[in-house]
Structure 1
């Protein structure tokens, strides 16, 4: 790939997009644009094939990729400015927060499903609540979360091991908890029950909100398809965090409750923002393709590795490995 040509067009395009947004020239449903992110993979593949064959058409695919990549990134960065409404000038994600007590059904797994037959701003087929109680001695726990399309959050604490609420317009969710017979360490798996979740009429179909107990040391595997992930993990002791995001906008806030935290981030076409405490040493290893990186207050160790000042002598450390396809990656200090 002609890197000079690619990056020149890339920065011109993304600069024009921000200028156009600031001047109010854009009237685009960016949600639709986000769903087209696989086109970038197709263009990248065709470009590689043509370059291997030394075909002059590779210049064309390079130009197309240089335009499409910043448009895809901008669709995630611009999420706070682009909530269009099919019925008016704007749309925004809404869900029905009113549960109909007459329609509640309880089962032995602490799952409460509410089916609303009435009209609402967005159709919600079910509201499910999951609870797993906290054993007296639970030093460690593992959370495995899988989401399709929607909004997903982890925030706040609970006296239970986990509390989760799933509001869906398509499909259902289920939670399974297995405890090691020897150590009694629980593994929680929260995932779609069957089928697939997807965008419906331009709206995010699902919202999953999770609360966790702050006493165990957590290992977390979070797998998102498309949509938004807002994970405030600063209250929890997390020793290992794995996040995979397809076409998603992800914000993660980390804490300082463990001496060493390992974070593995993998994304397709996504915007990933990680917030790290000021008093913690942070090391970032970057892998992958066409990424826009914002790493303020970091020093370059090698071509792909950066770390904060005083990392080697810091008592607490966070090590991040980021592997992105075409992504925006930012690390903030707070």
Structure 2
């Protein structure tokens, strides 16, 4: 039985949400180190699931559900293991002097036999708590930024380089500017640079986080990272997009995209391509992801697929061997597209519209 996109990602997100809630409510007391060390089980489970689905075995429904629970739990455990190490080290520095307190009273006043000193310590604790609350409030504040670059009428080609961590990334309707991007984030900030080639005058736009190694505390459920991008539809575009975990809604149907390199980790990607160029080269390199690609019917499409642990839905394509598939009437098509897909534990679907 084919694994449905909604089933896997619905359970995936539900599990992740429950883990966030349990973490914030203090319900979790888990040995994250032992849990994360079991990650090879995911590969075994994914292999069993793939075999069962290829054979149409109904038990594949059970293994799909198990994967949808196990993958987010392992990812959550990995990040929280490092968070717990940092947190435990912090508490050790504050509680070190309590180790010799055998009477069960944790007050500093009993240790020093001085009520005034105890009052000073309590004031310091209050100051620390207020400072911590202030920093938490600041880190939870949503920051918004808008980036724009004016369109030059002489610009016939352009390059977009986009990178981001966990979050949601959207490319949609065209703009009269060369680019207009709106960013919303609670952690870190984005930056944009535009460099024009001295000889060809082709602009290269680079949009990325200022701190590419920004720490994200998964205990805080108020994290937001969203990027909405609008491009000019006049130039021919070359795109290099590198995303982490999250969601990508990339509607490129209105743009002339001759080359797209898209890399992602644990993500849900929906990519819509257009028919604005005679030859398009699309390279998809993903990890644990669900990828849906929409291709115009008037474009002849060839797919080269790699990766053993993939479930693909290529119903309108003919398997020509060697992991390659072609759309009907490919050779006679005046416009052609090559899609190269390399996936880890992933689901790959191509829809002709």
What does residue 62 of structure 1 align with?
Answer: 44
Deviation at 1:29, TM superposition (A): 2.6
Structure 2 vs 1, CA of residues 199 and 304 (structure 1 numbering), >3 Å: closer, same or farther? Answer: farther
C-alpha displacement of 1:204: 5.0
Structure 1 partner of 2:149: 132
* Mapped partners of 1:26, 1:183: distance in 2: 46
The change in CA–CA distance for 1:69 and 1:315 in structure 2 (over 3 A counts) is farther
Q: CA deviation at 1:33?
A: 7.9
Query: Equivalent residue for 1:273?
Result: 292
Partners of 2:13 and 2:269 in 1: CA distance: 24
**Secondary structure at 2:289's aligned position in 1?**
strand
Q: Is it true that 1:187 corresponds to 2:197 in the alignment?
A: no
Count of matched residue positions in the alignment of Structure 1 and Structure 2: 259
Residues 18 and 143 of structure 1, relative CA distance in 2, 3 Å threshold: closer
TM-score (norm 2): 0.65
Correspondence for 1:333: 352
| 3-state SS in 2 of match to 1:29 | helix
CA distance in 1, matches of 2:320, 2:13: 42
Q: Is the 8 A contact 1:256 1:316 kept in 2?
A: yes
The alpha-carbon distance between structure 1 residues 293 and 204, as it changes in their structure 2 partners (threshold 3 A), is farther
1:225 maps to: 244
Q: Distance in 2 between matches of 1:175 and 1:127?
A: 14
Deviations 1:192-231 (A, max 9, x none): 0114264753455200000000000000011000000000
The counterpart of 2:168, out of the listed 135, 151, 168, is 151
The separation in 2 between residues aligned to 1:240 and 1:232, in whole angstroms, is 15
Q: Deviations over 1:5-42 (max 9, x none)?
A: xxxxxx69x69x959x8xxx9994345789x9x96994
In the alignment, structure 1 residue 259 sits paired with structure 2 residue 263? no
What is residue 105 of structure 1 aligned with on the other side? none
Rounded to whole Å, the distance in 2 between the matches of 1:27 and 1:277 is 30
Q: For the Cα contact (< 8 Å) 1:134–1:159, is it kept in 2?
A: yes
- Normalising by structure 1, we get a TM-score of 0.69
Q: Mark the runs of 5 or more structure 1 residues left unpaired by the alignment.
A: 1-10, 48-60, 76-116
CA-CA distance at 1:182 after TM superposition = 1.1
CA distance in 1, matches of 2:343, 2:143: 34
* DSSP-derived class of the 1:289 partner: coil
Distance 1:287 1:137, change over 3 A: same
Show the 5 A alignment for 1:1-334.
Answer: 18=7, 28-30=14-16, 42-43=39-40, 62-63=44-45, 66=48, 70-71=64-65, 74=68, 123-194=140-211, 195-196=213-214, 198=216, 200=218, 201-202=220-221, 205-334=224-353
Mark the runs of 5 or more structure 2 residues left unpaired by the alignment: 21-31, 50-61, 70-133
Q: Name the one with the larger strand percent.
A: 1
Tell me if structure 1 keeps the 8 A contact 2:250–2:272.
yes
* Alpha-carbon separation, structure 2, partners of 1:137 and 1:210: 22
Larger radius of gyration between Structure 1 and Structure 2: 2
Match of 1:102 in 2: none
Question: CA offset at residue 136 of structure 1?
Answer: 1.8
Deviations 1:152-178 (CA, angstroms, capped at 9, x unpaired): 000111111000010001000000000
Q: Which protein has the bigger helix share?
A: 2
Distance 1:64 1:300 in 2: 23
Deviations 1:114-146 (A, max 9, x none): xxx9xx9x9433101100001120010000000
Alpha-carbon distance change, 172 to 65 in structure 1, aligned in 2, over 3 angstroms: same
- Alpha-carbon offset, residue 288 of structure 1: 1.4
